[in-house]
Structure formats: structure tokens, C-alpha cells
Structure 1
Amino acid sequence: MISKYFLGASVLIANLLLFTSCLNSSDNNMEYPTDPQIYAISIASKTDTTNLLPGVVFTIDQVNGKLYNREPLPYGFHVDSAMLKLTGSTSLAFSMIELTLDPDSTYAWNASDSIAIPRLRKIKTTAPDGVTSKNYDFQLNIYQEDPYILIWEKIAGNYLGSSVESQTTIIYNNRFYTYYRSGEEIKADSTAISDTPKWGKVDLSGIPHTLRLSSFITSGNLIYALDAATGAVYQSPDGSDWSAVQTEYEVKALYGELPFADPGNILLAVTHDEKVKFARTNNGFSNIVLMNDLPDNMPITDFSAMKVESRTSYASKFIFLSGGNTSDNAFSNNIWILQEDGDVIKYISSKRPEEVNLKGSSLFFYDDKPYLIARSSDGKNILMYSDNYGVDWIKAEENQSLPADFTARTNTSVITDADNNIWIFGGISSSNTQLVDIWKGRLNKFALN
């Protein structure tokens, strides 16, 4: 069906009359703009009770003639009609605008009537010269599936060749390294990151069998860990060869790389004048700068640590800690939020639901949010996240729950990769046995994109 609004034709006739009158005026050189391009687009609807449409950011692809929103609207969003605003190069930007709607309906639009926006497919604009025109394909993207479903799959079971008493997994140089205690030895296996990982033995040298597995961190081009027996720091440039590092102070904890700092800048806890203090180091521990005292109830061993570097808020740069034991070997059932401010580490203790036990909990940063795997009062694992960078924690809904056949555990290693996958490695079951399996999860939104 082809229909034309009388007003569209009237605009064209008025422009022609104006053009003629201008020819008869004293300015015989007047020319109408020939640019038909759309430079801005916005939509709004009275039925948009959530007020999402005004915030939609449209991409205008002038080369290929496409108008679309890169970030889809939420799953289930729907409005029947909307007001459309098109902005051109001048205040009198278009002599005519034609819209094509499904199914096969084209009409001249008066730039003020509402539009059946779900049916809009094409926009044709004509410049004030009445001749030059441009065609655009229009697409209002809406998630057709729930983007916040976490899809889980078991990748492997019993992937380590030896008996395992405890383990930890890190990501380093685009590879996974699992270090594990087997009898009186520490062993390691490694694989490239893959949906079908192929694990191989790592030949270790220089590594003490007393290395604390929960202390492993990566920073710059090195892996670091603490010796539980001597308190010495050990480092490795390749995951295989290890050596002790000379330090000015006794290092009690490696909290991890400071966010938005140069590689190698690590937050520590050290002993100085019989006090445990925060400190920072760089250049391979050649220089340690003392900072303020640690609070008595902050953990220094067996905690989970997470670096937070927000993509949307530069001020949101933290290190989170959960669980672990203090210098007095007391259990810390808190979530700590640490932030560097000059030569001082500021800290607060985060709120958490009372039924959550943080012993053996695991923190990870995903989809620009802090996440936490912990145990609930019934012994099952609970997945939580925070929308306000750790001030409050929310129990994940059913669409993000862990799979039914996921064995409840503590002390698991959780890693996120560059492809927005969550990897869960091993852990200790409720019967105190070491699990040696791998799970992978991913938000549906990353597959849809």
C-alpha cells in the first residue's frame, strides 16, 4: 500500500514557491542546502513507563545508510507507537521525509505524528533542495531472549593426573595454570584457554613444597606467591621456574595488583615495628613503601581477593577481600573494600546477608559487577552480586543460579577471561574431599551480541 500525506506535498510546493520568489528577489544567487543526512535521532513514547526510550543511543552509519541502537532494549520491552525526532544539518533540514513500515506501507511523514515504531523499517530524507535524498534502514534492537541468563556447562572432571589435596588456578599469559599439593610435593598442570582444554604437566624448579597455594597472584610479567613456612616471597616469569625474592620487610599478605596502576604495583601487608601495615611495591619488590596500619580484623591468609576496574566509572577502583584469617588466626566473615588514596589505604566493611558464610568464598569481577560465590546456611552454594560496587549484595535470581548438578564447594578458583566466560576450578566439597572439575558459565547477552 502506498499513501501520501497532503501535508508532505504541501511542504514541497511551498518550498518551490519560496524558491521561485527567491529567484525574483534581489539575491539571484540563493541556493538551498543539498545535505539530506540525519545527524541525530531520538524517540520517546507515553506508553514507555520505564522511560527507557529517551536514553537509547542510536548509531548513524552514513556510509551504509543504517540507523540502529548497539545496546538492545531489555527483553520483553514493547511500545506500539512513539514520537520520532530527526535532526539534520540545518533548522530546515528536510523538504520531505518518507517512512516505510511493515508490511509494505510507505508514506510522507509530517515530522509530528506518532509512528508505529516496531514496524518502522526505512527512512528516506530529502534535502531542502527538493532533489538530493538519502535512504536509511532503521532497526530498533530489543533482546529477543533473556540476556541475563547464566548458561553453565561442565567442561572437565578429574582433569589432573595425580592425587590432589588442595589446589589453586590462575590465568597467566593467556593460559590456565593449576598448582596443587600432592603428598609432599607441589605440582602444576597448564593449558591454553579453550572450550576443550588440553592439560599438560609443568616441570617445576625452585618451588618450595610449603608455598601457600591461596597466595598466588599475577602482576606484570610475573607470578608471585608466599612461602607459608618462612614468609618469603617467590616469583616466576613463566610458571615453571621459581626463585626467592629479597624484601626489606616481612611480607604477610599479597592482596594483588592495584587497579589502574602500572604493572607491578602490588598492595601488600608487611610487618614493621611489630605492627602489620599496608604497603605497596613495584619493580619486583625492589622498593616497598609503607602505608597505614591494617585493622585487626582484616584477613592476611586464605582470603579471596578481586581487583575492580570499572569500565563505566573511573572512580570505582578497588580491591575486595572476603573470608580468610586475621593475624591472630581468627576467621574474618566480612567483605572488605579497599581503595588507595595517596599513601593511605582506605577501607570499609561491606554489608552482607546474615545467612551467608564467607569461609572459603570466592570473589570475581564480571559484567562490570563484583560477584561472590559463598555458602548459605543450608550448606549450598549461593551466587551473589553487587550493583553498587560492594555496598550492598543481592542474591542472584533463578536465571543466574548455579546448575543443579554443581557440587557445593568452598575454596574454588574463579576466573573470568577476555571472552566474558566464567571459569570455576575445583574446590573442597561439604564432605571435605577435593573436587577436580571445571565449569564454565557465560551470560546470554554476550552470546546475543
Structure 2
Amino acid sequence: MFLLLCLYMQQTYFLMKNRIVLFIAGCCALLLSSCLGSDDNEYELSRDCQILSFSLSNDSIPELKNVVFTIDQTTGRIFNIDSMPYGTKLDEKVICTVKLASTVYSCQVIQEAVGDTISWNLEDSLDFSKPVKFINTLWDLQTTKAYLAQVNIHQVVPDSMVWGIYKEGITDGAVKEEKVVVFGEGNDESYYMYTQPANASEGYQLYRSAVSDGKNWTKLTVAGLPAGEVRLSQITAYGDAFYAVTTKGALYRSTDGQNWTLVGNTPVIKALLGAIDVDDDFTAAGKQPSALSAVIDKDGTLLYGYMNKEMEWNEGTLLNEGFPLTGFGSLSYNLMFRARLLVVAGRDKDNKLTNTAWVTHDGKAWTKLTDDEAAPFDKQEGVAVAEYDEKLFMLSGIGETGKASSDVYLSRDGGITWNVSDSLVMMPQDFKARGFSSIHVDKDNYMYLFGGKETNSSNVLNQIWRGRINRLGF
């Protein structure tokens, strides 16, 4: 009997409280009408039920007070766009400071982590280890608006690089050699995958895919290249065309990647090293010309040579001892406001494996970056080099034992010193070590590895791998 009496008194209290609120609201409306001197106009109190500002703080988590929260009034979500660092623990209740619209009568809170529902007094600390729901009630005690607030925390190790197979089964049949060249601009930028089938009588084949795709490939015809003579790994895009060199020193050119013609009035080319890519405006201003870099044979003497965009050839200095002619990895990149071309590892004119890195900014002369007394990496060929995460990234190739390695080397000083990467940036266990992969980094910071082979005599692996450092995707 006593319990029923208590419940009755409680219910009577809330009814009286609601009537008082309604009475006050009605009085406000009548007073407003009287002050204006007319009963003909109708006035409605604001029905704004919003949370206007939101922040969290905790002395044990000092960085929490600097977190900026976004309030989406349409969906009722409150969240931080920039996630807090990996490993942040919200294992304590935190102070939640909110600003409510002036017409909000009450705020109810449902804490998912605790599993309770409370009529929040805007002061008690709350548990944000899981989402918290806020339900605002308007002065009419009927209109409500709900918000779901959560603190975003990175759930993966930011500096870890995650790899996976992106595409398999691109080419038809077994392939002995492969090179992927990126060509075009904007929406027309495409991968051009050149292959030499294991059956050389089939001739060179070409597959193309948009850089924005990489999974759907179209097979195209190739015409004009001499069968079995092209150094496929040295095909280079320069300016508005592709260039390829043969084992006999001839240079071929194509504007569409499919139809090739012999370029006349060229020196005998022993190796096509790559392009020194310079912005056209930079070239026009006379600050640095672009060039297609090569090693040429002048009456039995090996020199550096370079071709400008007008397709004029010039001679450079004598070839340095130990400079690679085959099997090198190359990269065109910018450093200190200058375009540079880097070549790494490979075989020299005596067919010896090297473990050096060389650089040029004009194609006339090359500088050895690495120190002979402190070998930066093992002697090898078929390395893949890219600029990634403000460093130079090198995936090892095939060494003196004839087998490939999956070691990853990083250089933070433009190729002078190289160090094996730590456990966060390495190839996964199910990745088959390989050399002679083509490599590309897209605008979303994904790194792609195309093909590659486990030994010099094995066929090309018919697959594409893709990886990215987690924080570069945040």
C-alpha cells in the first residue's frame, strides 16, 4: 500500500511539473502578445532542440581537449573527423561540455559502454569508450532530437604497410619478360603492360588499363618492333611518346604505345636509362631542360648521351667504371627543386652485378651516390625503386645466388645511404620474392608491383600486388 502511494505521488509530481512548464510557456506567449498591443497575431516559441557545441576533456588524456568534433545536425552524428592516435585508451569517464539550444528542457543520455540511461545534468562525467546517445527534449515535453556521439580512434598501426594481391591472371599464357609503363595525363593516364611470351615466336604483346582501375585490362596489338631484340625492361615514356632500344643499339618510338617506328639519326644506344622529367614551364624558363638519358657507343667508346624534346642527341662524359647497363632499377624524381634520374644496382659493361646508386640531373654526367667502402645492399639486379612516404623505396631483386629477395630498403637522403626497413614496412609472408617487377605509386598513396620473377630463368608471375602505409590513407 505504501509503494502504491509513493508511485501515485511521483506521478502527481511529474504531472504538476509538466503543467507548470506549460503554464509558464503559455504566460510567456500571452505577455508577448500583450506587449505588442494586439491579439490578432500568433506567435510560436522556438522549437530548436539542437546541440550547438560539443567537446571532451580528461586530465589523464590531455590530447582529448584538442580534438575537434563535428556535429551533423541532419543525421544526428557527433564525431571527430581526424581520428585520435592508434592505442589511445578511453578507459575513464570524461567531462563532456555541450551547449544546448535555449529551448531544450532536458537531456537524456544512454551510455552504450555502461548500459544505463540517465537524465543528464550537463555536469556528470560520461563513458565514451563506446558511443553515447543524447536525447534532447523540447519545452513542450513532446519534441525530441537524438544524437549519437563517438570518439574515433585509429584501429590499425599507422606506420604499418599492408599488402595484398590486387589482380591475377592478366596475360595470356606464360610470359618471359614484362614491363609496365605509365603514360598519359589525368583521366587518360593508363598502364601499358608490355610482355614477351615464353614462346618468342608469338611476338610482343600489350595490355592496357586505366591507372584509376588496374583490374580490367584490354589486349592491344603491337606493330613495328623487331621480334626478340627489344630490351623490354628499358621501355621508357618521355614527353609525348614511348621509346624502346634493341640489343643492336637501335631506337624505336611510338606515340600510342602500339605502332612503333625506327628513329633515324641516332647514336648506337647501349642502354636506355630513363627520362629526366621536368615541368614544361620550368624548361621554358631555362631553369632545367628535360632529357631522355642513355649510354651510347661512339666508335667503341662508351659515353653518356641524352636526347632533348626536339629529338636532338648530345654527348656527355665518359662512362664511369661500374655503371650498370642492364638489370638496373630507375626512378625519375624531384629533390631540392631539381628533377633527377636515379639508377640502382644492375650489371655493368663486364656483366658483373653491382650494388651502387647513381644520379644525374642533365644526362651529361652521372654521380655515384653510394660509398664503395660501406656496401649499402647486396649486389643484385632487377630491383624496383619508387619515391614513397618522402623516402626512396627499393624492393630487392635477384642476387648473386640467382634467387630473389623480398628485402625492402629505404633511403632518407636521396639514395646516398640505404637501410633495411623495419618490420612495419616489409613484404608479407605469402609474398613470393621476385626481381624485375614494375612499380608505380598512385595519387592515393597505393604502391603497385606488377609481375616480377623468382629467378632469372623463371617465368613472370602473372599478378599485381598493392600496398599502402596505413597513415597515408587516413
TM-score tier after normalising by the smaller chain length = 0.5 to 0.7
- What is the deviation of 1:69? 7.3
1:381 equivalent in structure 2: 405
Q: Which is helix-richer, 1 or 2?
A: 2
1:34 equivalent in structure 2: none
Matched, 1:428 2:446: no
* Structure 2 counterpart SS, 1:302: coil
Matched, 1:340 2:361: yes
- Report the residue type matching 1:400 in the other structure: M
Residue of structure 1 aligned with 2:423, choices 397, 400, 414: 397
1:268 equivalent in structure 2: 293
Matched, 1:325 2:347: yes
Q: Which is strand-richer, 1 or 2?
A: 1
State the alpha-carbon separation in 1 of the partners of residues 312 and 460 from structure 2.
Answer: 39
TM-aligned CA distance change 1:57 to 1:171, over 3 Å: farther
- Report the residue type matching 1:276 in the other structure: L
TM-aligned CA distance change 1:201 to 1:305, over 3 Å: same
1:168 equivalent in structure 2: 179
2:306 equivalent in structure 1: 279
State the alpha-carbon separation in 2 of the partners of residues 58 and 350 from structure 1.
Answer: 48
* Structure 2 counterpart SS, 1:400: coil
> Which structure has the larger Rg over C-alpha atoms?
2
TM-aligned CA distance change 1:427 to 1:401, over 3 Å: closer
What does 1:177-196 align with in structure 2 at a 5 Å threshold? 177-181=193-197, 182-184=199-201, 186-193=203-210, 194=213, 196=215
Q: TM-score, normalised by structure 1?
A: 0.64
- Report the residue type matching 1:362 in the other structure: A
Q: In the TM superposition, what whole-angstrom CA distance separates every residue of 1:45-94 from its partner, at most 9, and x where no partner exists?
A: 8977xxx999x99799999999987664542245889xx9xxxxxxxxxx
Is the Cα–Cα contact under 8 Å of residues 299 and 323 in structure 1 kept in the other structure?
A: yes
- What is the deviation of 1:207? 4.4
TM-aligned CA distance change 1:350 to 1:368, over 3 Å: farther
Q: Which runs of 5+ in 2 are unaligned?
A: 1-51, 96-108, 134-147, 184-188, 282-288
1:441 equivalent in structure 2: 466
- What is the deviation of 1:446? 7.3
Q: CA RMSD in A?
A: 5.4
Is the Cα–Cα contact under 8 Å of residues 160 and 436 in structure 1 kept in the other structure?
A: no
Structure 1 outlier segments of 4+, above 6 Å: 43-48, 56-70, 100-109, 115-122, 137-140, 350-355
Residue of structure 1 aligned with 2:276, choices 258, 268, 271: 258
State the alpha-carbon separation in 1 of the partners of residues 307 and 69 from structure 2.
Answer: 43
* Structure 1 counterpart SS, 2:313: strand
Is the Cα–Cα contact under 8 Å of residues 385 and 392 in structure 2 kept in the other structure?
A: yes
1:210 equivalent in structure 2: 229
What does 1:81-120 align with in structure 2 at a 5 Å threshold? none
* Structure 1 counterpart SS, 2:324: coil
Matched, 1:412 2:445: no
Q: In the TM superposition, what whole-angstrom CA distance separates every residue of 1:248-303 from its partner, at most 9, and x where no partner exists?
A: 54433332222443399334134486351253522xx5233444444222212231
Is the Cα–Cα contact under 8 Å of residues 152 and 440 in structure 1 kept in the other structure?
A: yes
Q: Which runs of 5+ in 1 are unaligned?
A: 1-36, 85-99, 110-114, 123-136
TM-aligned CA distance change 1:53 to 1:411, over 3 Å: farther
State the alpha-carbon separation in 1 of the partners of residues 110 and 316 from structure 2.
Answer: 65
State the alpha-carbon separation in 1 of the partners of residues 278 and 91 from structure 2.
Answer: 45
Is the Cα–Cα contact under 8 Å of residues 346 and 381 in structure 2 kept in the other structure?
A: yes
* Structure 1 counterpart SS, 2:470: helix
State the alpha-carbon separation in 2 of the partners of residues 77 and 304 from structure 1.
Answer: 41
TM-aligned CA distance change 1:342 to 1:176, over 3 Å: closer
TM-aligned CA distance change 1:80 to 1:188, over 3 Å: same
- What is the deviation of 1:241? 0.4
TM-aligned CA distance change 1:189 to 1:250, over 3 Å: closer
1:238 equivalent in structure 2: 256
2:167 equivalent in structure 1: 155
* Structure 2 counterpart SS, 1:214: helix
State the alpha-carbon separation in 2 of the partners of residues 326 and 170 from structure 1.
Answer: 24
State the alpha-carbon separation in 1 of the partners of residues 362 and 463 from structure 2.
Answer: 38
Percent pairwise identity: 18
Aligned length: 386
- What is the deviation of 1:437? 1.0
